């Protein structure tokens, strides 16, 4: 990636984005994959929400990847003390988890515009409101649905794998996301890549470029994890397979979401694995501080 409009410092090492590839196998291919330590067999229904085609899923994942790059730039800028403005026109629901109260009242493509009468422009605003109250709190949501505005009430749930531990149990994105940065950033295109799991590694690279601190310190560093504008790192899945891949690629350190660090450690050999909850914590690890074990 390239940053203009702001002084930068060279990155002395390499950052590796950890990815997994999805394949639909034959019966024989599935049996072979089941005995491979670097592969996992999962049902297609575990990935594709009900009623969503593979093409729609791929398109949504691509958009999530592109949005995550902008959010990563915002998180990195904030981490090094630069001003950032984030705006949007509401929170679009992309998926609702089974078994949470929201599953009874929210649907994919609903757009949440207000919570308890307070206007909500971005996903981060919604998360801050919900996480500031204990699990089980009821919220009155103003929702755009099929061209109409409806009022629904939903309870939050305890979600151990989510930063903060409390949420509505939905996957969502900021509609019409706009990120105003005090610099320009241009990313190298990666065709065919989707999903938000490269958010953490993008944020690390941008912070390394913007800050005078040499975070890479000549190392080959791999990382996976979603990120929000406040620097919270979220789970991504496939961490065990990613650990195999980055070790084969020569990585010395692998940063993962704290909630998934044990998955990576089950396959580590010469690879150092560290779990983190926030971008600042990850940067402290890279700077050589032991606080973020």
Q: Which residue has the higher pLDDT, 181 or 23?
A: 181
Q: Which residues pair with 148 in a beta bridge?
A: 145
Beta strands 253-257; 272-276: pairing state: parallel
With DSSP H G I counted as helix, E B as strand and the rest as coil, what are the percentages for the chain, rounded to 5?
30, 25, 45
Grouping H, G, I as helix, E, B as strand and the rest as coil, residue 142 is strand
| pLDDT value for 291 | 44
Of 268 and 281, the structure prediction assigns the larger pLDDT to 281
Least confident of 24-28, 154-158, 200-204: 24-28
Give the per-residue pLDDT at 41: 55
Cβ atoms within 10 Å of 161's Cβ, excluding its own: 12
- Average pLDDT over the chain, rounded to an integer: 85
* pLDDT band with cut points at 50, 70 and 90 for residue 293: very low
Q: What is the DSSP letter of 188?
A: P
* Tokens 């009155």 belong to residue: 140
Pairing type for strands 233-234 and 226-227 reads antiparallel
Cβ proximity of 233 and 200 under 8 Å: yes
Task: Report, as an integer, the average pLDDT of 241-269.
Answer: 85
Residue 117 has what pLDDT?
95
Domains belonging to the chain, first-starting first, are: 10-51+191-292 (3.30.230), 86-178 (2.30.42.10)
24 pLDDT above the threshold of 70:
no
Report the C-alpha gap between 203 and 281 in whole angstroms. Answer: 12
Q: Cα 121 to the chain's mean position, in Å? A: 19
Q: Does residue 292 register a pLDDT over 50? A: no
172 sits in which H/E element: strand 170-174
Render 219-272 in DSSP notation, one character per residue.
-EEEE--EE-TT-BEE--S-HHHHHHHHHHTT-SEEEEEGGGHHHHHTT-SS-E
Q: What percent of the chain has pLDDT over 70?
A: 83
CA distance 136 to 145: 24
pLDDT (mean) for 93-108: 91
Conformational region of residue 217, where left means phi above 0, alpha means psi within -120 to 50, and beta covers everything else: left
Query: Can you tell me the distance from the alpha carbon of 106 to that of 99, in angstroms, rounded to the nearest whole number?
Result: 12
Check residue 160 and give its pLDDT. Answer: 66
The mean pLDDT of 274-278, rounded to a whole number, is 94
**pLDDT(177) > 90:** no
Q: Can you tell me whether residue 72 is helix, strand or coil?
A: helix
* Phi and psi angles of residue 88, each rounded to the nearest 5 degrees, phi first: -170, -175
Q: What is the pLDDT of residues 251-264, one digit of tens each?
A: 999 999 998 888 88
Task: Report pLDDT digits (tens) over 216-236.
Answer: 999 999 999 999 888 989 888
> Lowest mean pLDDT: which of 2-6, 34-38, 169-173, 231-235?
34-38
Confidence category of residue 215, pLDDT binned at 50, 70, 90: very high
Tell me which H or E stretch contains 35: none
The model's pTM is 0.76
Residue environment code for 106-132, b if the CB has 16+ CB neighbours within 10 A, otherwise e: bebebbbbbbeeeebbbbbbbbebbbe
How far apart CA 55 and CA 236 sit, in angstroms, is: 21
């Amino acid at each position: 990636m390239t940053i203009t409009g702001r002084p930068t410092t060279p990155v002395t090492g390499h950052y590796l984005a950890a990815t997994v590839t999805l394949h639909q196998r034959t019966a024989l291919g599935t049996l072979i994959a089941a005995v491979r330590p670097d592969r996992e067999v999962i049902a297609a229904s575990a990935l594709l929400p009900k009623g969503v085609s593979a093409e729609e899923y791929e398109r949504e994942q691509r958009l999530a990847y592109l949005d995550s790059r902008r959010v990563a730039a915002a998180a990195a800028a904030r981490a090094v003390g630069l001003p950032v403005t984030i705006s949007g026109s509401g929170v679009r629901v992309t998926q609702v988890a089974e078994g949470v109260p929201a599953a009874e009242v929210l649907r994919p493509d609903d757009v949440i515009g207000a919570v308890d009468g307070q206007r909500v422009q971005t996903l981060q605003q919604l998360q801050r409101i919900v996480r500031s109250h204990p699990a089980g709190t009821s919220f009155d949501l103003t929702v755009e649905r099929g061209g109409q505005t409806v009022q629904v009430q939903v309870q939050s749930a305890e979600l151990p794998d989510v930063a903060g531990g409390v949420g509505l149990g939905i996957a969502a994105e900021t509609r019409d996301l706009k990120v105003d940065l005090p610099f320009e950033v241009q990313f190298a295109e990666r065709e065919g890549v989707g999903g938000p799991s490269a958010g953490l590694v993008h944020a690390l690279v941008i912070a390394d470029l913007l800050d005078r601190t040499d975070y890479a310190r000549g190392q080959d560093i791999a990382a996976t994890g979603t990120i929000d504008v406040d620097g919270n790192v979220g789970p991504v899945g496939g961490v065990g397979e990613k650990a195999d891949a980055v070790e084969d690629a020569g990585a010395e350190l692998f940063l993962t979401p704290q909630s998934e660090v044990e998955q990576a450690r089950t396959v580590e050999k010469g690879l150092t694995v560290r779990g983190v909850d926030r971008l600042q914590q990850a940067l402290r690890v890279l700077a050589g501080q032991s606080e973020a074990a």
